[in-house]
Structure 1
Amino acid sequence: MTERRTYSYLGPAGTFTEAALDQVPEARGHDWKPVHNVGEALDDVLEGRSHAAMIAIENSVEGGVSTTLDALATLPGLRIIGEYLVKVNFVLVGKPGVRLEDVEVIAAHPVAYAQCHSWLGEHVPRHAHVPAASNVASILGVLDGSSPAQAAIAAPGIVQHHDVEVLAEQIGDNDNAVTRFVLVSKPTPPGEPTGADKTSLIVELPDDRPGALLDMLEQFSTRGINLSLLQSRPVGDALGRYRFVVDADGHAYDERMADALLGIRRFSPRVVFLGSYPRADRRIVHYPERYADGVFVEARDWLRALLHGEPEA
């Protein structure tokens, strides 16, 4: 029999995180555990209560999710094993019978609220905002009366789980908004390269000096590796101390990526390897032929032969 597994996600049912988890074939038919925040989801993994956790890491409008990035940087023993994209769309909902003109206070997760700011300013200009822990929690507070809000911003799937009045649809300011989620587990060997892979790292600079960031970036550029994400986060122990979240195109089993990782390890006082995993968009990673695996292997063989006193071919 297949071992039963548990997957943690930001709940309750109806969140975008649940929609991301629904994209994981191996999670279907197993136990899904809704949690209140990213920290709780990752603690479930570290303490063995869950096999893996689905968490949001980046939004195409708001950028990196700081709570997730900081947690991955500071909690040892975690590894990204997959990424998933969810198109972001929002609805404004309230109790049955409420009207848009009745709305004075709106409950919303801060990220969702920021992505609907222009629409709200035009259609509900005098509203006040009450922050909520999740998109679903925002409407639950409205329904049970624990929130002072008359309406909430939620994902469209909320109508499948709760009896709500839909006051407006498509209220997001950007029709192309997408949130990137990652599935996180305890450390495990990366899967085999697919040709459409991504490697994620968190790298601290050795010191605050001119050219330090350039030195780090050159570890990738001189090996023909493109970076799809580079975001700074404060280390937190002093001003001017930063760590960088890096998504690099390619897999740790690729010779060019392995060589870059060795360079980064020599350069940085602290490197967190978050994992190598297939890209959600399955886009093949292209690179110049001079950075092909065989070129790196041939160069090592050439040096090894020289050190053994063999004549050059």
Structure 2
Amino acid sequence: MPTIAYFGPRGTFTEQAALGFTEQAALGGDADLVPHTTIPAAVGALRAGEADFACVPVENSVEGAVSATMDTLAAGEPVVAVAEHVLPIRFSVLVRPGATAADVRSVASHPHALAQVQRWLAATLPAATQVVSSSTAAAAVGVADGEHDAAVTAPVAIGHYPLQALATDVADEADARTRFLLLARPGALPEPTGADRTSVLAVVAHRPGELSALLSELALRGINLSRIESRPRRNHFGEYRFYLDFDGHVAEERVGDALAALHRRSQLVRFLGSYPKADGSGSPAPEANRDADYHESARWIAGLREGEHA
């Protein structure tokens, strides 16, 4: 049975995402889930061979990129994403058994969770003091221990703690979602499906036009860029790493050609994986950028080099 290290503790959305990954065919429908206190610790367990996979959040539609994940992917031994899972973010508000809304004077959660239920809290628990916890699950532990009166948590938390739901399906934004990655040590990549995403990070020279030139390598090959984020380079003030997600799989000629160009242009490129998109949306190559087009042009160039000028 494979082991998945995940950003815990138990009862978080990352645990829910890890459970979602276990349903994928590659994991055989089952896995041993092991919580870790931080994202670097979960990925560290993978790098050390203590786990077969690591499950980490990478971006939220309301709060944006998860900087701890981005920084962890940039440092240390390489790891690659082999799958993604997009989880709708709907919260449960948990209290001690028998408690009502009138009993709630404090409500705790992770700051990202509190930010996503502000309207609900203002309408339902306007007098409650909001308390920041290290995670939604830690907030649930605080309620169970009598430190807080209510916790905004992932729905899975109610199965781990002796609490009851004051409310469920809570969210200010009906379409709030978080994308999670399943990471593995480098090895055989998932086969291309025609609905794939490739992730890389790149560092470019600190000169005018360098980022534009980098992105043009994707556009010239008909590759759709779906996400770009920047993070500062530690010990290099004023310099940044750029994280790119784009359509396609490294096994495709256009993507391989683009990655080779990024490698030539950049000070550093780290491949972060090619994997199926969670939504299954297709990523077909446009005309002149299909594999057959690359193969035909390669044959033509080979002929020219051998003196065939037809």
TM over 0.5: yes
State the alpha-carbon separation in 1 of the partners of residues 301 and 157 from structure 2: 62
Moved more, 54-63 or 233-242: 233-242
Matches within 5 A, 1:130-279: 130-145=131-146, 148-207=147-206, 209-279=207-277
1:27 shift after superposition: 5.8
Query: 1:256 is matched by which residue type in structure 2?
Result: R
Amino acid aligned to 1:87: P
Which stretch of structure 1 is more off in the superposition, 245-254 or 98-107?
98-107
How many percent of aligned residue pairs carry the same amino acid? 38
Structure 1 Cα separation of the partners of residues 176 and 99 of structure 2 = 28
Cα offsets for 1:18-51 (capped at 9, x unmatched): 2212223316433221121211100110111101
CA distance in 1, matches of 2:96, 2:185: 41
Contact 1:9/1:41 (<8 A) preserved: yes
2:287 is equivalent to residue 286 of structure 1: no
Report which stretch shifted further, 298-307 or 245-254: 298-307
2:76 matched to 1:78? no
The amino acid across from 1:136 in the alignment is A
Residue 9 of structure 1: aligned partner: 6
Query: After superposition, where does 1:22-33 map in structure 2 within 5 Å?
Result: 22-23=19-20, 24-25=22-23, 26=27, 28-33=29-34
Task: Give the aligned partner of residue 18 of structure 1.
Answer: 15
1:117-166 deviation line (CA, Å, top 9, x unaligned): 22223333343333223222210122023xx3211101123233333232
Specify whether residues 214 and 229 from structure 1 end up closer, same or farther in structure 2 by C-alpha distance, changes over 3 A only: same
Task: State the distance in 2 between where 1:91 and 1:32 align.
Answer: 22
Out of 272, 295, 298, which is 1:297 matched to? 295
- Distance in 1 separating the partners of 2:79 and 2:43: 8
User: Gaps (5+ residues) in structure 2?
Assistant: none
Distance in 2 between the 1:184 and 1:175 partners? Answer: 28
Query: Deviation at 1:204?
Result: 1.0
CA distance in 1, matches of 2:249, 2:150: 45
| Letter paired with 1:251 | H
Say how many residue pairs are matched.
Answer: 306
Pick which of 127-136 and 170-179 moved more.
127-136
CA offset at residue 190 of structure 1? 1.4
- Provide the C-alpha distance between the structure 1 equivalents of 2:178 and 2:233, rounded to a whole number of angstroms: 25
- SS of 1:168's partner is strand
Q: Which moved more, 1:26-35 or 1:62-71?
A: 26-35
1:72 deviates by 0.5
Distance 1:183 1:165 in 2: 31
State the SS of the aligned residue for 1:169: strand
- Is contact 1:7–1:27 with CA below 8 Å preserved after alignment? no
| Contiguous gaps of at least 5 residues in structure 1 | none
Is the 2:95–2:143 Cα contact (8 Å) retained in structure 1?
yes
CA distance in structure 1 between the partners assigned to 2:93 and 2:301 by the alignment: 65
Query: Counterparts of 2:241 and 2:122 in 1: how far apart (Å)?
Result: 36
TM-score by length of 2: 0.93
Deviations 1:279-311 (A, max 9, x none): 111111133211111111211221121122122
Q: Give the corresponding residue for 2:92.
A: 91
TM-score (norm 1): 0.92
Residues 14 and 136 in structure 1, CA contact (< 8 A), matched pair in contact too: yes
Matches within 5 A, 1:33-52: 33-52=34-53
Amino acid across the alignment from 2:31: H
